[in-house]
Chains A and B, each alone.
Chain A
Amino acid sequence: QVQLQESGPGLVKPSQTLSLICTVSGGSISSDSYYWTWVRQSAGKGLEWLGHIYIDGKRNYNPSLTNRVSLSIDRSKNLFSLKLNSVTAADTAVYYCAREPFVCTYGVCYPNWLEPWGQGTLVTVSS
């Protein structure tokens, strides 16, 4: 059974870069059936999709993050990573990684649902 686990610093200073890793176990990140994604949730708020990456490195980011987000994948280590630049207090949230099965219609592919999810990691932006 595939499991995902987030790791990284729990405290980041304003204007610095938030860096998180999601380690995949129980399955290969190199499967051609999934995107690998990041979602965050601020305290008491809803879920915000940050972006996803495919095994060939193709990425799709949430435009609301104004080019601050970057995803990468390391097939040899079975993990993928998130970097968020120029963070502010508004980026304080629980960050989740998840796997996205996708569906393709007329050559256009999009994620179908998210499962499984990692347990989440709280990142606080504060000086």
Chain B
Amino acid sequence: QSVLTQPPSVSAAPRQKVTILCSGASSNIGSNYVSWYQQLPGTAPKIFIYDNNKRAPGIPDRFSASKSGTSAALDIAGLQTGDEADYYCGTWDSSLNVYVFGTGTKVTVL
């Protein structure tokens, strides 16, 4: 069950910027840390952002994230073909007592 909503897809030309939104509720995004994961085709998800806005080691500063209220956002600046992947937000839901993931967003570089 995905209680966090993301757009199915976003796209932009190389070197442009995309923003992926993750919408939740007070019991999840509104009260707990948000993380973001990148999943390349055929591979396991990989942490990109943790604690709402901290980049994991080795993640370029083209990737940034923020949280406001019950929503979170991941920005990818200077888009590159290597950024084509599925991106998921994730956080703990204190009402369900479950770690919940977003519905996932496919990033396409035009």
Contact = CB atoms under 8 A, between A and B. Distances in A.
A64 B98 CA distance: 10
Given A112-B33, A113-B50, A46 B44 contact: no
B98 A63 contact: yes
A14 interface: no
The winner among B33, B51, B92, B103 for most chain A CB atoms within 10 A is: B92
Interface stretch (A20-28, A73-81, A115-123): A115-123
Contacts of A117: 44-46
Nearest to A108: B94
Interface in A55-91: 60, 62-64
Contacts of A2: none
A119 B88 contact: no
B1 A64 contact: yes
B56 A49 contact: no
Interface string B42-73: 01111100110000100000000000000000
B33 A49 contact: no
Interface string B93-108: 0101111111110000
B44 A119 contact: yes
Interface in A26-56: 37, 46-49, 52
B9 interface: no
A87 B10 CA distance: 35
17 contacts: A46-B101, A46-B103, A47-B45, A47-B101, A48-B1, A48-B101, A49-B100, A62-B98, A63-B98, A111-B92, A112-B33, A112-B50, A112-B51, A113-B47, A113-B50, A113-B51, A117-B45
Given A63-B98, A117-B45, 13 more contacts: A46-B88, A46-B104, A47-B90, A48-B1, A49-B98, A60-B97, A96-B45, A111-B92, A111-B99, A112-B50, A113-B33, A113-B47, A114-B45
Interface of A: 37, 46-49, 52, 60, 62-64, 96, 100, 103, 110-115, 117-120
